[in-house]
Structure 1
Amino acid sequence: RSWIEACGKEYALAFHAREPLLLTTPAPTMLLSLEHLSRVFGLPPDECVQLALRNPSFIGLPHAQLQSTVNAVSEVLDIGLQEAGKVVMKCPGLAVRQPEFPVARRVELLGALLPVSKDKLRQMVRQRPQLLSKSPQVCRRQGAARGGPEVLSLRQSRGPVRSLLRHRTRSALSRSGRALRSRYSPDSQRSWIPQQHHRKGEAWLLLYCPHSSVLACVSSLGPII
């Protein structure tokens, strides 16, 4: 009823046909959320509606929380507010969890896991903002906490192993130690880092190996080189 009173019956029915779960959201709350999206992301009304339909988690977030998330992404990644807004729109969880898991902390955990410079890390996250969507629990399981043994092993591993971890897709990290040694042994006729599968890649390690052990992969490859 609040939706019909606020928007009219025809609009309310059309809107909820797209996203029935929004029936639980009072119309005033929804309208205020759309206003917040417009102010923070600089979107026209119709695009705000589409954004809310794609990402209902934006609904109900305070304006200050949305804006602080965009500001944090802009500062940490050294990009403009408009580009930072695009990152947050792709990863609404950043805004939802900003109070307890701020963007700066997310980037810090990624920096502890990936053996790259700060500039390179920022570049990787700009290209793959979904990296920031990892929960702190997943990051810790992957050894992202500072000083974690897997992080140290990856940072200290010799060049070819690190290169493989950077440039291979998830298939390399899902193989057993025997398969890895057979596939990439010096006697193999195949190039031990197939260039056609090149990726910019510690990002791939993080995205596709949520439960794998970096140590296991490194130790499997160690005898090869």
Structure 2
Amino acid sequence: MRKTTDPCEVVAVGWSRQGVRLPFTDRAEAGRLLAEQVVPLRLADPLVLALPRGGVPVAREIASRLDAPLDVLVTRKIGCPSQPELGVGAIAEGGEPVFDTDLMRRVGLTWEDLEETVRRERTELARRVAAYRGDRALPRLKGRDVVVVDDGLATGGTARAALAAVRAGEPRRVVLAVPVGAAQTVKALAGDADEIVVLAAPWTFRAVGQWYVRFDQLSDDDVQRLL
């Protein structure tokens, strides 16, 4: 692997700095490298929750190293009605929608403008929960150390919604673990988790996929197979 020419602030447990080679070969490799930083946390009764779809192959490697259960925490982005790719919020199963109120104000959106979008995303979220978990409930969170895993952080909207939903389950400790994330986003999420483990936090960040050699789109079948 080549070393990126992009200046990188590398953040690991306790905000320490270390060298990391980018891009990652694939999500599995990123997961193995990330697991090296998660294992020393000495987690109690750990549970690894992946944000599907891309977070699942990363989380699988961490769960294997921890010998911990692996499951998914389904999230959905809430897009601007006129520009769906612009995320103004997100929702996670078991939680309420989390909105970027500053962005909503800048683009002139009200809560009423988003009612239909939220309803539609709730429906899709329920469909995906049924596809991935069937009738099985989300595992118990109370009193456990929960590791929330994704393949990267761009704006951090879905991660924020996921962390809020996990907090509502009264875990003992919440860890957010990602291979790479925009430096501004990592800093903005500092108060949402007890610890953030991230291998690289570049200041110049266009998309998560730019930090992987192979960044294949995953299907629901892929997620089910990995689980």
For the criterion TM > 0.5, the same-fold answer is no
Indicate the structure (1 or 2) with the bigger Cα radius of gyration: 1
In proportion to residue count, which structure has more helix? 1
TM-score with structure 1 setting the length: 0.23
